[in-house]
Structure 1
């Protein structure tokens, strides 16, 4: 049977009664299918519906073929690498059988997987993880290594349907290249949720989750963007045409009302010379005619407004961050950070000499486990160095990996004012409007915000802080961000005038930053 995923009028309602996904009907056959959408739009919920982890509130979802699902989860602290892959019990049973066991339970555990060790080592070599010992604690491997090990465990199941949720998070360039090869060569039905633009260039279809529905576009992500842009151009033209028609219908209605008022005055003047019964008949006939004419114009106006409303609904509210940050500027020759012979507490033993001067933009790159995060923290004095010394010479802000800096029980305005306590309230409100928080949105509790909104509020608290940061240090800032939030981050950094040091494996994001240089960290010592 050919592998496939089928959804028939499936909806999913959250416990609070909000409909997250509604009336989804589609079928996905063999090939590579990408799913994109804003944070909170329902991408992961859709993947969990397809995997059978969630049941649709209404409708049905069906998977045909053996299904495997790579989730965004971490292994328990006590787990080994073999447990992370999911082969621990089978390997243990094989060892016992080799030692002479005849226990039926061992044979049941092995099943048809007598060749598991050979297939396992082949996949480990292919994913660049042949050096990782199976008895190592899972907590000792990097996030990228854990992702690839989980993928190896799925591939060992020989799945017909493979579901991947943000598979490139934490992967270095080599890991991303190996993952992309696996995606390209998978012969069954593959569905991946991702914000990785490079990986999305290797899919056959794009499904965009928006406003509770999924719309499928043929082609890669760049082709999807071109189609959306063409649709939006057409939608904008339709809005302009509809708006002009509303103005015309409104003008026609006003003109009809003016003409009718003139006729009414003339009719009253003429009625004075007619018998009362004849004048009354004329008046009733004129009122019926006038009402019919007014109703026709009002109906046309209402229809024009409906057309305008429908056209406006097709126009996306993809707003841009437009902010000016003059206080973050650094003179070109001023030293921002100096490090001599720094060896971080974890990772590479190679000493690092680094001088950041003026508004330089520097990317820190390297393999998973090389110690990039540890280097950042050591440069900023947050971890003790094994050797060398480092000094930060300007106001600095640091965004750690996967950490929300905001207080969820305080509003957006209160969080930003906590970072800029001396700034006038109205000034902070005006600046927040440039981060797309307008009106009452600034008074929303952070805990109630969507993922994308929370990210914009975090950016605002970093960039609007006092003193203004003249050095910004970001550790994997695009991890778990939807594509719109990555664009918002890039827009905000375009306005930033200070020095920037960023760790990222996202090649497209780094290309957008217009970097001055790259610092590559060697492998783990």
Structure 2
């Protein structure tokens, strides 16, 4: 279908979960040709919207109209591990019929299955090759592939289907640098309508427009993520200026209302004095009193209405200012001094056959980006340093307290409140002290009493980070394993601000290069073929399979 005719229309769309939680009410959206980046805070409904467009969920009201077929790459992708690769690609039946014909079986049903698709194997292998999966045979099973390879395999299947509209939900979450490069290239080459939900800055720099989903409404911005952020900054500056103007107007209206009260009180006292001294005829004074009361009433109503209007304008102006709070913390007890010993690795052999040969050390408040392909052993190494796994041989010695933020975010007890979770890690801290510290992580008041099991992905990461950093003793080596996977753009900014206040040594395993650069990384370390080696930032593009 020609790109100019492909589109998505949501009209008067409403959707609520079975428990009554409302996601959309009278929602409208129109998506045209090109690449659209759909962004918004965690929990605003981005993934739900993609599932509604894909037909996986049914709206409670309204209509969704699409021109052409829909392809959907879900965030929580799960493929049957017993499937063969050709089955996951959707070409198994055609391929089997083709093989039967080539073997001499000329039954009509085989020709019907093949149709005009005689180059099915070539197209399948080309799709795999386009995404860097050329080494994967069509007869292998999904269970033999890594999580990142499964994501790319599903994308390859979508490329073969050639849907008119492609929906991608956090497609880079489980991809290493090389795989991300392959996905970026596929997005650049996509000819139809594409809607991508992502916090990946590099991916969002490849879109034509940004759709900002907030409070059940989409606001459109032309250009990439950088253009959106520039436009938003201008909007927010203007909105804050309007708040200041509205606040000044409210203060002025309050002064005028107060002045009016003073004047009316004076008139009332003067009128009472005239009545008491009976300087004028009684009928004249009574008429003057009625006139003064009517005038006073009108005057009071006028100023009260002006004040109410000014307060409404202030409320409207304040609503336009975003209140996405940042985490603000001070962590003096995490300080590591330059040159002090933090971590020593020597001739490590780890579980699952991972090795780190020779000697490697970390000294002082270094900020280390740990990178490497999926399956290289980054998570195994971090878990061994954290003491969760024993090395098969060799030495992994931390000379300072260690905190570890795992991918699974399973540090918290789901049945306990946030206060109780932190209390477990810092038993000597008072309840008020814990609550005061949690407030810096944006868990204020009753939010600190919520069970950990009720938190969203972004909230859970924030709560886990709070439990780690507020522990006693405080960690002086903090290790994070793919921390941005469950975060929106605002959440990534919050995490960055929190880590900016951290004074200890830091090791972050991540494929999110812009996030790593925002942390002020001092060493880039590659785990590859059983060795840790320092690399220059310029080598990152080479690892992605691009020219430097």
- Asked if 1:194 is matched to 2:198, the reply is yes
Where 1:289 maps in the other structure, the secondary structure is: helix
Deviation of residue 523 (structure 1)? 4.9
User: Against the structure 1 CA distance between its residues 378 and 459, is the aligned structure 2 distance closer, same or farther, given a 3 Å change threshold?
Assistant: closer
> What is the match of residue 297 of structure 1?
303
Q: Could you tell me which of 478, 488, 491 is aligned with 2:494?
A: 488
> What is the match of residue 415 of structure 1?
421
Deviation of residue 370 (structure 1)? 1.9
What is the alpha-carbon distance in structure 2 between the residues aligned to residue 351 and residue 110 of structure 1? 52
> What is the match of residue 33 of structure 2?
30
Deviation of residue 451 (structure 1)? 3.1
> What is the match of residue 179 of structure 1?
183
> What is the match of residue 455 of structure 1?
461
Q: CA offsets per residue over residues 158-210 of structure 1, 9 Å max, x none? A: 22211111111111111111111111111100110000011100100101111
TM (norm. structure 1) is 0.95
Structure 2 gap segments, 5+ residues each: 532-548
Is the deviation greater in 247-256 or in 127-136?
A: 127-136
Q: Could you tell me which of 234, 259, 265 is aligned with 2:269?
A: 265
What is the alpha-carbon distance in structure 2 between the residues aligned to residue 60 and residue 524 of structure 1? 54
- Asked if 1:71 is matched to 2:74, the reply is yes
1:30-429 superposed matches below 5 A: 30-72=33-75, 73-102=77-106, 106-271=110-275, 272-346=278-352, 351=357, 353-429=359-435
What is the alpha-carbon distance in structure 2 between the residues aligned to residue 441 and residue 381 of structure 1? 32
Is the deviation greater in 453-462 or in 106-115?
A: 106-115
Where 2:205 maps in the other structure, the secondary structure is: helix
What is the alpha-carbon distance in structure 1 between the residues aligned to residue 102 and residue 19 of structure 2? 54
> What is the match of residue 539 of structure 2?
none
Is the deviation greater in 343-352 or in 72-81?
A: 343-352
> What is the match of residue 7 of structure 1?
10
User: Against the structure 1 CA distance between its residues 469 and 524, is the aligned structure 2 distance closer, same or farther, given a 3 Å change threshold?
Assistant: closer
- Asked if 1:478 is matched to 2:478, the reply is no
Structure 1 gap segments, 5+ residues each: none
What is the alpha-carbon distance in structure 2 between the residues aligned to residue 402 and residue 211 of structure 1? 29
User: Against the structure 1 CA distance between its residues 239 and 144, is the aligned structure 2 distance closer, same or farther, given a 3 Å change threshold?
Assistant: same
TM (norm. structure 2) is 0.91
User: Against the structure 1 CA distance between its residues 347 and 138, is the aligned structure 2 distance closer, same or farther, given a 3 Å change threshold?
Assistant: farther
User: Against the structure 1 CA distance between its residues 318 and 347, is the aligned structure 2 distance closer, same or farther, given a 3 Å change threshold?
Assistant: farther
Where 2:118 maps in the other structure, the secondary structure is: coil
What is the number of equivalent residue pairs in this alignment?
525
Q: CA offsets per residue over residues 377-421 of structure 1, 9 Å max, x none? A: 234443344553222222112121133322222211111112211
Please report the RMSD computed on the Cα atoms of aligned residues, expressed in angstroms: 2.0
Q: CA offsets per residue over residues 345-394 of structure 1, 9 Å max, x none? A: 33655625321112121111112222222222234443344553222222
